[in-house]
C-alpha cells in the first residue's frame, strides 16, 4: 500500500470521527445560524406565536433523532460484539516445554558476607591492650 493512499485514508477516517463526535454541536450551530428561517417556515408552532417556540421544537426533534440514532448504533455494536465474541474465543492450546537447568558451582564469596563477623579478618580486630 502506498504512503499516499495511507495518508488519504487516515485523513478520511479522522474526518469521519470528527463528524461523528461533532453531530450535536453541528446541529446547535445549524439552529443558531438558521433560527429565523426555522421559526418562519419549519417550526410546527409558527401559527401560534403566543407559545414563543421560535423553532425550539425543531431543535428538540433534531437532537432527539441524533440521540436515538446514536443509541441504536451503540446497541447494534454491542449486539454484534456479543455475537462475534464466541468466534474470537477459540480454544487456545498452551504447550509447556520443560526448561533445562544447568547446575553450576557457586562460590561462597558474596557481597553480603562482609557484614558477618565470621568473614572479617581476625588479625585486625582485637581488644585494646593496656599497658
Residues in the chain: 131
Query: Could you tell me the three cell numbers for 16?
Result: 469521519
Residue 40 neighbours by CB under 8 Å, 6+ apart: 46
Decide if 43 is inside a domain.
Answer: yes
Decide if 7 is inside a domain.
Answer: yes
**pLDDT tens-digit profile of 104-118?**
766 655 566 555 656
Q: Structurally, how many domains does the chain consist of?
A: 1
Q: What is the pLDDT of residue 107?
A: 61
Q: What is the pLDDT of residue 24?
A: 87
Quick one: pLDDT band at residue 32, thresholds 50, 70, 90?
Answer: very high
Decide if 41 is inside a domain.
Answer: yes
Sequential DSSP letters for 20-32:
HHTHHHHHHHHHH
Q: Is 15 left (phi over 0), alpha (psi -120 to 50) or beta?
A: alpha
Q: What is the pLDDT of residue 53?
A: 86
Q: Print the domain residue range for 69.
A: 3-88
Q: Pick from 94, 30, 111: which is nearest to 66 by CA?
A: 30
**Which pTM does this prediction carry?**
0.51
Amino acid at each position: 500500500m502506498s504512503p499516499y493512499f495511507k495518508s488519504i485514508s487516515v485523513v478520511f477516517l479522522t474526518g469521519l470521527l470528527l463528524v461523528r463526535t461533532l453531530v450535536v454541536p453541528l446541529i446547535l450551530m445549524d439552529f443558531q445560524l438558521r433560527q429565523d428561517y426555522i421559526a418562519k417556515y419549519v417550526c410546527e408552532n409558527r401559527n401560534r406565536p403566543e407559545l414563543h417556540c421560535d423553532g425550539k421544537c425543531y431543535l428538540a426533534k433534531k437532537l432527539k433523532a441524533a440521540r436515538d440514532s446514536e443509541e441504536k448504533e451503540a446497541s447494534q455494536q454491542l449486539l454484534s460484539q456479543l455475537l462475534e465474541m464466541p468466534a474470537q474465543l477459540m480454544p487456545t492450546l498452551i504447550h509447556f516445554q520443560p526448561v533445562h537447568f544447568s547446575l553450576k558451582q557457586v562460590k561462597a564469596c558474596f557481597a553480603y558476607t562482609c557484614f558477618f563477623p565470621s568473614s572479617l579478618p581476625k588479625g585486625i580486630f582485637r581488644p585494646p591492650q593496656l599497658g
